[in-house]
Chains A and B, each alone.
Chain A
Amino acid sequence: MAVYDLEEQEQISEIKAWWEKYGTLVTAVVLAVALSSVGWQAWNWYQRKQAGEAAVLYVTAVNAGSANDPQKVREAAGQLIEKHSGSAYAAMGALIAGKVQAESGDYKNAAILLAWVGEHGESPAIRDMARLRLAAVQLDEGSFDSALKTLEASPGEGYALAFADLKGDVLAAQGKPVEARAAYEAALAVAASSSDAQLRELLQAKMDALGASK
């Protein structure tokens, strides 16, 4: 027993000496870890709260869209862009609102919303999607040149065909059959690698129709 007592005494004094030397440092480190953990939790909590608010606005927009209430959709989407522009909900809300405005004939507001997504959407696919929708809205608005400009920058691979196809539609509506034909031909070249025979037939039909009206 006595042997151990001696050993323990020795250990205790060792620990004391160690604590004298490093005590402040250890306390500081523990404190820093604790604080940053609290900070991290708080940041998470704040983000969740923000996301929760954005989600409520977004759901409001979606529901108002199904209920065919363009104004309410626009308001919700506007708030999302204003207060939660960093959240994916801003772009998602603008996409919904863009469609609803376009459907109700308010091309101007639809174009503003979709152009915002075309610029601020978080992924290339979303930005291309928004630009394509924007061009469709501009075509219906009669702003052919803006539509062509929107379609100018080449999209990612998933949208090459759709862009060329819509370009053809714009040019055809503008009364430029030769250019439209060239656009459809470009679309057809992309479609050649696609297995969708119906799509190819459709493009072919559009081209044929142009040829006939020469």
Chain B
Amino acid sequence: MFDAVRNNRIVVQGILGLIVLTFAFFGIESYLGKGSGEKPLAEVAGQPISRAEFEQELRRHQDRLRAQLGAEADLETLNSPAVREQVLDSLINRRLLTRFAQDQHLAVPDAQLQDTIAKLPAFQEEGRFSKARYQQILASQGMTQPGFEAQMRQDLAFQQIIAAVGGGAVASLSSTSQLLGLQLEERKMRVSNFNAGDYAKGVAVSDEEIAAYYDANKARFEQAARAKAEYVIFSRDGLRATVKPEEKDVRQWYDAHQGNYGTPEERGARHILIQVAPDAKPEAVEAAKAKAESIVVQLREKDGKNFAELAKGESQDPGSAANGGDLGSFSRGMMVKPFEDAVFSLKPGEISDPVRTDFGFHVIQTTSVKPSSIKPFDEVRGQIEDELRGQAAARKFAEQAEAFSNVIYEQPDSLKPAAEQFKLEIHTTDWISKGTPAPAPFDNKRLLDAVFSADVLDNHHNSEAIDLGDARLVAARVVSHEPAKLRPMEDVRGEIVATLTHEKAAKAAASAGEAALESLKKGQNAALEFSPEQSVRRAGSSLSASALRAVFSVDSSKLPAYAGAATADGFQIFQITEVKRDEIKKDDPRVVALRKQYEQLIGERDLAVFLSGLRKTYGVEINQGELQKS
């Protein structure tokens, strides 16, 4: 082996040299990255955007969309070509900005980075930055501190560019006040309608026209495939009736969850403690007990009126001695057992005999009693049964959901086995079809898709069990179905006649309207009926876009002026009687407010133009085929 190396020294050196050279020029990636044979989705300045990077960003974007859209978000919208393109676009833009920032040596000062991180509310505790919280949150997100800071640095560098390009947009006050003037201009006008309905008399529609319309508009007379289905719903709520909680469980729940049904008894108490360790010698215990007993005697002599005073002098409980031994009020479960028993057995004001606990001997006085406000068992029993029934049903649902799905799948020719085994009712629907709203549960897109899938529609199999959410499973099968068809001409003849009649009448109305408008413009009287006067503005009016244009573009130097616009139903003539144009000053607060909005729009445009300039500079190649392949 070594002889071979020795004899072919030149060859071996050559090979080694080549290896070194590839590392020098291409880096180690060219060895590691190759081999998967995967094509990048896009290249920005020669740098690939990998599928993994894209998928990660896509998932993040989808999560955001899902949070926004809620139930409306189905997989099709979330993964539509438009969404994929948008995600790739934002990745490309980030790359471009990163590259620009690098080339221009943009830098983020350390002070700015620290300041920004310290001001993020997520890292603050009681309004101040907390280093511990910062590290804890990063750790919980699986990020390292240098990684996160590098990310922040990049974001801040982007913001530097965006601040100048987008945030620096300037809108002229003059342009803005012109814009506001347009928005505020008000015209008073009256309307005269030429409605198709008034011109329908005498309109005739021939058989040839009907046939021609039918042939030209077949799509309108398509009837989508439709089906009648039967279905069963297996749900947690349906299972509620099948479970009955046992009396003892209800009782146990009540005992364990008393806090849910009111507040338990609370007692206030004070004590004097003579300390003695649990393992103290008997003499010491005796001495302490004697001391405690003497205190009891002193207290009882004065009916406990000297309690506070004695506690201050004698109590060896550093926490309470100073306030006269007062411990405040508490409920059961908060103090050591012998102490608690004493407090809850004394009458208010009564002084206990010395009570031994791990701390020593206590002399106790109960000071107040606040009785329990917990509702009696019988009053809340129904409520608890309901709660437990819900829990049991949920458990049963979880246990049996898979069995239900299996029966539906394993006996695909009928819903009966599942209905019998799980005691479900089989419901039937009226005609349902895709594309028209169907009653629940067929308003669920997955269920509707399943019903109209080949397996269910043509093979007459059960659909799979589909999760409707909220612990409900549904399975359906098709009882009868009609394929998509073209409705025959006889069936739709009436519709066609109505449509054509309306079209012709609207045309007649429009030409009558136009003729009337012409004579009005010439100053002749056209004897029209006008609506009462109303005033309109360009924005927020109920008029159609074409009507608005007509009203606002007409020359208003001579009033009344007349304008007209065709509508779906005929024609409208507008008589403009007054034009109100306010003189708008440049320091009008409305101008200043509008300028902010206007500048935002301009800034967005500037950023888009800037980014498309970067695209040209650095070169972006998008691999459409690869992008839409999921």
Q: Which residues of A contact B (CB under 8 A)?
A: 47-48, 50-52, 54-56, 58-59, 62, 87-89, 91-93, 95-96, 98-99, 102, 110, 114, 122-126, 128-129, 133, 136-137, 139-140, 156, 158-159, 162, 166, 169, 172-173, 201-202, 204-206, 208-209, 211-212, 214
Point out the residues of chain B lying under 8 angstroms from A214, CB to CB: 555, 557
The 8 closest A-B pairs by CB, nearest first: A158-B609, A125-B613, A88-B104, A92-B164, A51-B105, A208-B553, A136-B172, A95-B168
A166 to chain B minimum Cβ distance, whole angstroms, is 7
A211 to B553, Cβ gap below 8 A? yes
Q: Name A92's contact: one of B111, B160, B169, B556 (CB within 8 Å).
A: B160
CA distance A47 to B105 in the complex (A): 8
> Does any Cβ of A come within 8 Å of B373's Cβ?
no
Q: Which residue of chain B is the closest to A159 with respect to CB atoms?
A: B609
> Does any Cβ of A come within 8 Å of B612's Cβ?
yes
Q: On chain B, which size bracket covers the interface?
A: 35 or more
Point out the residues of chain B lying under 8 angstroms from A92, CB to CB: 160-161, 163-164
Q: Which residue of chain A is the closest to B561 with respect to CB atoms?
A: A212
B556 to A212, Cβ gap below 8 A? yes
B182 to A137, Cβ gap below 8 A? no
How many A-B residue contacts, CB cutoff 8 Å?
A: 131
B58 to chain A minimum Cβ distance, whole angstroms, is 25
Point out the residues of chain B lying under 8 angstroms from A55, CB to CB: 106-109, 160
- 16 A-B pairs besides A88-B105, A122-B104, A201-B545 with CB distance below 8 A are A51-B106, A59-B109, A62-B160, A99-B169, A102-B170, A125-B609, A126-B165, A126-B613, A139-B175, A140-B172, A158-B613, A162-B602, A166-B175, A173-B178, A212-B553, A212-B557
A25 to chain B minimum Cβ distance, whole angstroms, is 20
> Does any Cβ of A come within 8 Å of B485's Cβ?
no
| Chain B positions 565-616 with a Cβ under 8 Å from a chain A Cβ | 579, 586, 602, 605-606, 608-610, 612-613
B417 to chain A minimum Cβ distance, whole angstroms, is 56
A136 to B170, Cβ gap below 8 A? yes
* A162-B605, A208-B553 known; A136 vs B617 contact (CB < 8 Å): no
* A62-B160, A87-B104 known; A124 vs B613 contact (CB < 8 Å): yes
Q: Which residue of chain B is the closest to A92 with respect to CB atoms?
A: B164
Point out the residues of chain A lying under 8 angstroms from B107, CB to CB: 48, 51-52, 54-55
> Does any Cβ of A come within 8 Å of B538's Cβ?
yes
A136 to B613, Cβ gap below 8 A? no
Point out the residues of chain B lying under 8 angstroms from A54, CB to CB: 107
Q: Name B613's contact: one of A58, A95, A156, A211 (CB within 8 Å).
A: A156
Q: Name A205's contact: one of B112, B182, B557, B617 (CB within 8 Å).
A: B182
Point out the residues of chain B lying under 8 angstroms from A99, CB to CB: 167-170
A98 to B557, Cβ gap below 8 A? no
CA distance A62 to B115 in the complex (A): 14
Point out the residues of chain B lying under 8 angstroms from A51, CB to CB: 105-107
Point out the residues of chain B lying under 8 angstroms from A89, CB to CB: 104, 106
The residue in B107, B111, B112 that gathers the most chain A C-beta atoms within 10 A of its C-beta is: B107
Point out the residues of chain A lying under 8 angstroms from B136, CB to CB: none
The residue in B105, B109, B545 that gathers the most chain A C-beta atoms within 10 A of its C-beta is: B105
Chain B window 135-173, contacts with chain A (Cβ cutoff 8 Å), 1 for yes, 0 for no: 000000000000000000000000011011101111111
CA distance A162 to B604 in the complex (A): 13
* A96-B163, A156-B613 known; A56 vs B109 contact (CB < 8 Å): yes
> Does any Cβ of A come within 8 Å of B185's Cβ?
yes
B610 to A129, Cβ gap below 8 A? yes
CA distance A34 to B217 in the complex (A): 81
B109 to chain A minimum Cβ distance, whole angstroms, is 5
A87 to chain B minimum Cβ distance, whole angstroms, is 7
CA distance A160 to B128 in the complex (A): 49
A98 to B172, Cβ gap below 8 A? no
A123 to B613, Cβ gap below 8 A? yes
Point out the residues of chain A lying under 8 angstroms from B409, CB to CB: none
CA distance A96 to B167 in the complex (A): 8
Point out the residues of chain A lying under 8 angstroms from B160, CB to CB: 55, 58-59, 62, 92
> Does any Cβ of A come within 8 Å of B554's Cβ?
yes
Point out the residues of chain A lying under 8 angstroms from B179, CB to CB: 202
> Does any Cβ of A come within 8 Å of B487's Cβ?
no
Could you list 24 examples of A-B contacts with CB < 8 Å?
Answer: A48-B105, A52-B109, A55-B160, A95-B165, A99-B167, A110-B170, A122-B104, A123-B613, A126-B613, A129-B609, A133-B170, A136-B171, A139-B174, A140-B173, A140-B174, A140-B586, A158-B609, A169-B174, A201-B545, A202-B182, A205-B182, A205-B552, A208-B553, A209-B181
